[in-house]
Structure 1
């Protein structure tokens, strides 16, 4: 039963081509510092303004994988949602995300294999209407058959 699935979950039986979900999040200094702590990626372009000012970015930027993590959040919480298993993800970084930027992460269903419970999602992140990340995710979606 759909009622038994965690809130926010869309089972494979209800997923349709073109469905999309998104989230918006402001990237804070604390987010960048926590990501550096968890990932152990302490590249000074993320943490040291003086250092970062002399790079091609001319200032601090968020970790690319922090931005990509917002795509994961949409997939794991909304589409398909709880119980989804990542099978693969491609990413292309098109621009920097800076502390204070508001990122919109969106995923859209582009292919479905109901028999195998596989869903392909077009993914992107934008800041001020400009794409900063694009990619494609392949996931194994939850099913009502496995309640």
Structure 2
């Protein structure tokens, strides 16, 4: 469970600050996300087809993993007073049903005059295999 980080002001941002969050992807996660975004690709929802594929298991949607990343960014670091402006992501490996995904984020740059923070994101599975990498730029929205 993430603890929300409420920044009283932007001076609480430290370059190099890091946090992480882990979640095991279960059948309910994949099914609920499929229904939410109307992504009914057989590799997500059909166990028989997925079992016969190269992966041998159902795949989590890429957007589900992005949602985990964005949850860390918005709810923990840098926090709820920041909005995402742009994101550049590279998907390196699929996430399978039952995988434990760890999201790690780090503050790369903070520009107080522009109110912009650049974050590095990396995700890996329970075997330490990289599954996603990227950067996000967020803007501080003062109260």
- The two structures have a TM-score, normalised by structure 1, of 0.87
Counting only pairs closer than 5 Å after superposition, residues 49-60 of structure 1 correspond to structure 2 as 49-60=47-58
Gaps of 5+ in 1: 1-5
Please name the residue that 1:3 is paired with: none
How much does 1:126 deviate?
0.9
In structure 2, relative to structure 1, the CA distance for the partners of 1:141 and 1:22 (3 Å cut) is farther
Preserved CA contact (<8 Å) 2:57 2:97:
no
Counting only pairs closer than 5 Å after superposition, residues 24-103 of structure 1 correspond to structure 2 as 24-103=22-101
Aligned pairs, number:
139
Moved over 4 A (4+): none
- The two structures have a TM-score, normalised by structure 2, of 0.89
Preserved CA contact (<8 Å) 2:105 2:122:
yes
Please name the residue that 1:138 is paired with: 137
Please name the residue that 2:5 is paired with: 8
Which deviates more, 130-139 or 55-64? Answer: 55-64
Distance across 2 between alignment mates of 1:82 and 1:118: 14
Cα deviation, 1:30-60, whole Å, max 9, x if unaligned, reads 0001110111111111111211234343321
Distance across 1 between alignment mates of 2:74 and 2:116: 14
How much does 1:21 deviate?
1.3
Question: Structure 1 residue aligned with 2:17, among 15, 19, 22?
Answer: 19
